[in-house]
Amino acid sequence: NAGVTQTPKFRILKIGQSMTLQCTQDMNHNYMYWYRQDPGMGLKLIYYSVGAGITDKGEVPNGYNVSRSTTEDFPLRLELAAPSQTSVYFCATLLGDRGFFGANVLTFGAGSRLTVL
Amino acid sequence: AQKITQTQPGMFVQEKEAVTLDCTYDTSDQSYGLFWYKQPSSGEMIFLIYQGSYDEQNATEGRYSLNFQKARKSTNLVISASQLGDSAMYFCAMRGYTGTASKLTFGTGTRLQVTL
């Protein structure tokens, strides 16, 4: 049981290049999220998905795209990389919205560190 | 809209002492959840403790406890008997419902340094 797997762990991009950050989970969780963490800051939500075929924007979606064709995978695509996208990216999953009873806790991947030069 | 505020960018505490990390929040939701995560230098996000908005008692998990004051909209994390391994970033987060799903909103974090 690997949990949430993110690849790559590190990547350096040139301005204008494109790339996809991969996120795979084996917990059969419905909800998946992409967050970015800028140096010395908290996490900000980029996109999220409540199930296969359904995605929605978070707080900072500009410059990113996502897709959710299966329950397991939730890739994040950067089309035209910019220095402002230098950050650590976290994918996270949640079993489902069981309400506020109990700690329905996000499970995070290990993160992907992206540098755009 | 939800907002989490952590006003302490950095804190120092001596080993074996207790330390309190502050967190205030703002939300119009009647029901919500409050979380604390630890991020060591290795970078992973580790869940520590949870408090539901309708929980009458303060949450405790081992050396971690919350001082939850609903009227003041604050949920401070208390770490007792600090250890060197507690040195890390600590994030307060709130879970509310917006649109189609619940999302976690994070504060900017507090960097805790435990000294000998």
pLDDT digits 0-9 by tens, A29-80: 888 999 999 988 889 999 999 889 999 999 999 999 999 999 999 999 998 9
Q: Name the token pair of A27.
A: 């917990």
> What confidence score (pLDDT) does residue A96 get?
62
Chain A's closest residue to B109, CA to CA, is A42
The alpha carbon of residue A57 is apart from the nearest alpha carbon of chain B, in Å, by 10
Residue ranges of chain B with per-residue pLDDT less than 50: none
Tokens 């989490």 belong to which residue?
B4
Of the residues A4, A32, A41, A43, the best mutation for testing chain B's interface (the one with the most B CB atoms within 10 Å of its CB) is: A43
CB–CB of B103 and A41 under 8 A? Answer: no
Half-sphere exposure of B62 (CA within 13 A, CB side): 4
Torsion of CA B3, B17, B85, B74, to 10 degrees: -10
Q: Are A89 and A58 in contact (CB under 8 A)?
A: no
Chain A residues close to B95, C-beta within 8 Å? 100, 104
Tens digits of residue pLDDT in A11-27: 999 999 999 999 999 98
> What confidence score (pLDDT) does residue A100 get?
46
Query: For residues B88 and B67, what is the distance between their CA atoms, to the nearest angstrom?
Result: 20
Tens digits of residue pLDDT in A84-113: 999 999 999 987 655 544 557 888 999 999
Written as one string, the DSSP assignment of A32-86 is: EEEEEE-TTS-EEEEEEEEETTEEEE-S--TTEEE--SSSSB--EEESS--GGG-
Chain A's closest residue to B44, CA to CA, is A110
